[in-house]
Amino acid sequence: MIPLRIPKEKYEQLNILKQRDYLDYLNEVHFSNIKKGMSKFTQVDEWVKKEIGSINSVHYDFETVIKADPSRLKVIQNIIDNKRIDDSHLWQLYDSDKKKYAYREPLRSVVNWYNNRLNKYKFTSDLGLTVCPYCNRNYISTGKKSGKNRVTSHIEHFYPKSVYPLLALSFYNLMPVCPCCNSLKGEEVFDVSIYDIEDSDKHLRFIIYPNNDEFMSSVDNFEIELDYSQEFEHNVEHLALKSLYGTHKDYVLEIMKKKEIYTKALIGEIYENNEGLFSSKEEMLIALYGNYIEEVNIHKRPLAKLTKDIYNDLGIIRSKMV
C-alpha cells in the first residue's frame, strides 16, 4: 500500500546515495551469503540452467533468479505459468497427473535451508521498516529480548514459496510485513510489489462519504471508502483493507474534528506562541494531528496514509455537502 522508503542514514553511511542502489547492494550481499552458505548451490544452479535455459535472449541461472528485480520476477513467473502451453521443453518440470510443479521436490531442501538461515531481524533492520508496508496499520519493530534480537515482522514471499519455490530465495520477492497481513495474503499473488510503489495515491486513496449533514457528530454518519486502481484490487481484497479500515472510524472522526478546530489562523497563532518549540509548521502539525500528513512520511507511523488522505480531502468532501 505504501512505498518502501529506506531511512537515508541506512545507506548514506555506506556512501550510497540512492535507495535503489542500496537495495541492489543488499541484493548482492544476500546473493553472496546464499552462494557461500549453501552446499547445493552448484547443483541447483545447473538445475535452473537446464530447466529454464534461455528465454528471449536471457540466460537463466540461479544467480539471475535470486537477483531478479520486480519486473524480472514477473517475467520468471510468466515463464513458470506459461511453459505448460508455450514451451515444450519445460513440460518435464510438471507433474501433469497431479497438476503440481514437479520441481517442488528438488528445491524443497534449498527452501528449508533458506528458511532456517534467513536472518529476519537483519533483513527488516537493513530495510529500516518500522510499519507494515501492506496495511500501514501495525508496527513491525526490531528489538531485543534477553539479549537476543527479536522482530515483530514476518518475511512475506510476494510470489508464495509454495506455488513458486524457484523464487523463494529471490531478494525482491522478500518483504517484511506484519503477521496479520502475512496470514491474510496466504498464497495469493498480488500485482503490485512494495518495491515498485512510488506514490501511494496512484494505487489507493481513502475517501469519506457522509451519510447526512451531521457527519461530524457520529461515526454512524459517514463511511470510509477506498478508491483504488485496478492493479491494486487483489491487495485490497485479500488484505481485507476495506473492512479493517472500517474499524478506524473513531480515529477518522478525530481527524475531521481537528481539521475543523485548527484553522489556518489558529495554527499560525499556536506556532507564534510557541516560538522555538517546533522547527517548522509541518512539525507542529504532526504533533497536533498525532500523525504524519505528508506522502514522504507515511511509512513512519501506523494509519499515516489514512490521516494524510483524510486531512487532504476534507475540503473536497465538505464542498460536496454544501
- Cell numbers for 291, please give them: 500523525
DSSP per-residue string spanning 239-294: TTHHHHHGGGHHHHHHHHHHHHHS-HHHHHHHHHHTTTT-SSHHHHHHHHHTS--S
Whole-angstrom Cα distance, residue 227 to residue 241? 11
Select from 129, 181, 204, 310 the one that contacts Zn ion (CB under 5 A). Answer: 181
Q: Which is nearer to Zn ion, 26 or 184 (CB)?
A: 184
Q: Which is nearer to Zn ion, 11 or 228 (CB)?
A: 228
Whole-angstrom Cα distance, residue 303 to residue 299? 9
Q: Which is nearer to Zn ion, 163 or 178 (CB)?
A: 178
Q: How far is the CB of 214 from Zn ion (least distance, A)?
A: 33
Binding of Zn ion by 132 (CB under 5 A): yes
Q: Which is nearer to Zn ion, 235 or 285 (CB)?
A: 235
Q: Which is nearer to Zn ion, 4 or 135 (CB)?
A: 135
Scanning 7-15, 127-135, 162-170, 279-287 for contacts with Zn ion by CB under 5 A, the matching segment is: 127-135
Bridge partners of 131, per DSSP, are 139
Binding of Zn ion by 285 (CB under 5 A): no
Binding of Zn ion by 73 (CB under 5 A): no
Q: How far is the CB of 180 from Zn ion (least distance, A)?
A: 5
Contacts of 153 (CB under 8 A, 6+ apart): 120, 124, 129, 132, 140, 176, 177, 178, 179
Count the Cβ atoms, other than its own, within 10 Å of residue 270: 17
Binding of Zn ion by 48 (CB under 5 A): no
Q: How far is the CB of 76 from Zn ion (least distance, A)?
A: 26
Q: Which is nearer to Zn ion, 106 or 179 (CB)?
A: 179
SS3 label, residue 26: helix
Binding of Zn ion by 256 (CB under 5 A): no
How many positions of this chain bind Zn ion (CB under 5 A)?
5
Scanning 65-73, 180-188, 277-285, 299-307 for contacts with Zn ion by CB under 5 A, the matching segment is: 180-188
Angle CA 84–86–91, to nearest 5: 35
Ranges of H-type helices in 170-240: 179-185, 233-238
Cell 535503489 sits at which residue?
20
Q: How far is the CB of 179 from Zn ion (least distance, A)?
A: 8
Residue 165, amino acid: P
Q: Which is nearer to Zn ion, 134 or 289 (CB)?
A: 134
Q: Which is nearer to Zn ion, 107 or 181 (CB)?
A: 181
SS3 label, residue 207: strand
Q: How far is the CB of 197 from Zn ion (least distance, A)?
A: 14
Select from 23, 80, 135, 224 the one that contacts Zn ion (CB under 5 A). Answer: 135
Q: How far is the CB of 264 from Zn ion (least distance, A)?
A: 35
Binding of Zn ion by 134 (CB under 5 A): yes
- Cell numbers for 310, please give them: 483524510
Select from 79, 178, 184, 224 the one that contacts Zn ion (CB under 5 A). Answer: 178
Q: Phi and psi (nearest 5°) for 307?
A: -60, -50
Q: Which helix (H) or strand (E) holds 302?
A: none
| Residues comprising the chain, all counted | 322
Binding residues (CB under 5 A) for Zn ion: these are 132, 134-135, 178, 181
